[in-house]
Each structure stands twice: as C-alpha cells, then as structure tokens.
Chain A
Amino acid sequence: MSYPFVFDICPLIMRTRGILLIRDAIFVLGVYPSQSKFRTVRSELKHELKVILATLLKDWRTLCSKSIGQLQAHTDALQKHLEWFSSVGDKESSDVIRSNCTSCLAYLANLYLTIAPTDYPAAPAMEYCCDAALSTLGRLTEGMVMEEYNYFDLLLGVSKYFRARVCLSPHQRRCAGREP
C-alpha cells in the first residue's frame, strides 16, 4: 500500500530521497571502506548512479536547447528590426540593434558549439546552425569597428564560461556511459 500523492512537491521528502541516493552512491563507490557492513555492492545502485549522471547531461542539453530556441527567436526579431531601421536610414538605431544582435549571435554560436558534443545524433545539424550563426555574425560585423569586440569577448569568453558550467568532466562522462 502506498500513497498516490505527488511527493515531488515536498522539498523535505525529496531532500531525504537525495541524501539516500548520495549515501548509496558513497557505499557503492567504496568511499567509506571502514563501513564494512555496506561493502556489498548493489548493482541496481550502480545503474542508478549512471542514470543520475546521464540525467545531468540530459538536463543541461534541455537547458541549452531551450536557450537556443529563445535566443534564435530573439536574434531573428532583432535582424528584422535591423533591416527596417537600416531601410529608413536610422543609423543610430540600427547600430544599437546591430551591436545587440552581434552579441546574441555570438552567444548562440557558442550554445551550438556547447551542445553539439553532448548531443551526438544532432551534432551535424548543430554544426550547421553554428555555421549559419557565425556567417550572420560575420555579415553583420562587416561595417563595425571591431576593436570593441575582440574574438575572446565574442566567442571564447562566453564559451569558457558556459562550458565550465555545462560540460561534464571526462570521468563523469565515462560514468554516464557517454565515453568508453
């Protein structure tokens, strides 16, 4: 007999669930060898650990995909505005929008680059999107003074920051079954 309630709304219960997972993980990994009682490795927990790591990966990918969608829509809208302001000859406004659009495209390209290695089946599509974003970026920045946007600011800076937050370590990726 069990409760039919949805318990993921109860933080304290989820917290207990979390600490049990951690404890089980510690026993499985043998971090506490002195606790001889818990040396018995439970295979289902090993699988659970793998699932946790895989889930982290999946969550991050979901987050990236969501960000990409939003950013892509925002960038498209910016480009339309840019075209309109350029067509009416409003240089000041179009410069502001171009600057904004450039940042968005740079960030977008980095998101594509970040998600591509963690999403193997969609990697070619991601690379194509990244190329498209970079092409647009190049076209937009043709007439711009680039001193204020060096390569590091546009790409590597964002990329490093984002990758540090998103990517799993090689060990985690191996545990998650993503790498041999």
Chain B
Amino acid sequence: MTMGLRLRGDKQEAIMRGDLFGTVVHPFFVHLAHALGMHYCKTLPDGKTAIIIQARYAQLTWESMADISKEQDRFLLLEAMFALASACVFLRWLDITQAYLLKAIHVANEYRISFVPKDGPIPVFSGDVHEHIAQLSQLIYLENFLFLTRNGAEPQATSRLEEEFRTELEVPNLLQSLTFDMTD
C-alpha cells in the first residue's frame, strides 16, 4: 500500500513466505521484496555479507525482470515496471523512477490496457480486478506525484488513463454528493 502496489491476498502471502515457485506470484516480486526489505531493515549488520546478499537479491530482481520482458503477460510487465519505479522513489533515484514509470505507461498505452475492458462484459469485482484497477490508477498517481513533488515532467503520459479514470470509474465522491448550500 505504501509503495502503491496492490496485489491479491494470496500473492501477498506468497511474497511473505518467499514462494519462488512462480505459481501464485512471479519470483520478481519476491526478490524485489527481499532486496528492499534488506535495505530498510535496521537490525541487519552493516557487514560485507549482508551487502553481498542484498546485491544477489538485486541481481535476481533484474534477472526476473528480464524473464518477465520475454513473457506475453503485458500486465505483469506493467506491474513489474511500476514496482521498480516505486522502489526507486523510495530510494530517491528519481531519474530511474521516471524511466521505469514511463516504460510502464508505455506498456499500458501500447497494449491498450484499460480500466474497463473494451470487449466483453464488465467483470465482477474480485481481487484480480481490484489489483488491475489499483495498478493503473497508481500509474496516474505516481506521474502526478513526481510532477507535484519532485519537479517531474508534466503529467501527459497518463492522459489517456486519466481520462478513463475520470469517466469510467465512478468513484463515489462524497464531496460532490453533499447538498451543502454554498450561498448561505
């Protein structure tokens, strides 16, 4: 949640268990969680061994990323790119953040990944749908976040997604539903 990642419950559990089988969640997320976890863990000794292990996890993360790039699952690629972008925000590597974010947005735009499927009926609400929608909304969030707080570029890349977000996602806006009389 803090990183802006929304994964299905069983995927979260698999990451916590360190499940590398890849049946529930891609190993990329497990390796990334390990690498980031070691970075933020304050109880780890600052020894050479810890650095080597963390570097190994980072290496595995990049290798898994390469595997994902070869796969057909474009949404997985988008998720992985976004996860790296989010991780880089936390590490304050803003140039790399921007690069990965743009790649993720590029994947979304190139493969026309949308909030609402263009073909077929609207899916019923499920963990997958929640993950899908949350992920796309976070692309918008992160681009705007970088723009507002990190001198990022104008949020143009996600304009298509933003339009969809505004029009097709009926987010109940409590602010608008109020019948407060503004004129008294």
Contact = CB atoms under 8 A, between A and B. Distances in A.
Given A1-B168, A3-B168, A3-B169, A10 B176 contact: no
A22 B147 CA distance: 12
A4 interface: yes
Contact of B175 (A3, A10, A20, A52): A52
Contact of A12 (B1, B115, B154, B174): B1
Contact of A20 (B125, B144, B168, B182): B144
Nearest to A17: B171
Contacts of A22: 148
B180 A12 contact: no
Interface residues of A, number: 36
Dominant secondary structure at the A interface: helix
B72 interface: no
Interface in B130-184: 130, 133-134, 137-138, 140-141, 144-145, 147-148, 154-155, 162, 165-176, 178, 180, 182-184
A35 B141 CA distance: 18
A54 B180 contact: yes
Nearest to A120: B184
Given A1-B122, A12-B134, A58-B180, A7 B171 contact: yes
Contacts of A4: 122, 170
B116 interface: yes
A2 B182 CA distance: 30
A52 B22 CA distance: 45
B18 interface: no
B31 interface: no
A10 B167 contact: no
B1 A2 contact: no
Interface string A4-33: 111110111111110110110010000000
A12 B6 CA distance: 8
Contacts, number: 102
A131 interface: no
A15 B174 CA distance: 14
Contacts of A120: 184
A86 to B, nearest CB: 45
Contacts of B140: 16, 19-20
A112 B176 CA distance: 28
Nearest to B172: A8
Q: Which of A17, A48, A50 has the most CB of B within 10 A?
A: A17
28 contacts: A1-B122, A2-B168, A5-B125, A6-B172, A7-B171, A8-B174, A11-B1, A15-B141, A16-B137, A16-B140, A16-B141, A19-B141, A19-B148, A20-B140, A23-B144, A23-B147, A35-B154, A38-B154, A48-B175, A48-B176, A51-B175, A51-B176, A51-B178, A51-B182, A52-B175, A55-B174, A55-B178, A121-B184
Interface of B: 1, 4, 6, 115-116, 122, 125, 129-130, 133-134, 137-138, 140-141, 144-145, 147-148, 154-155, 162, 165-176, 178, 180, 182-184
Q: Which are the 3 A-B pairs with shortest beta-carbon distances?
A: A16-B137, A16-B141, A12-B134
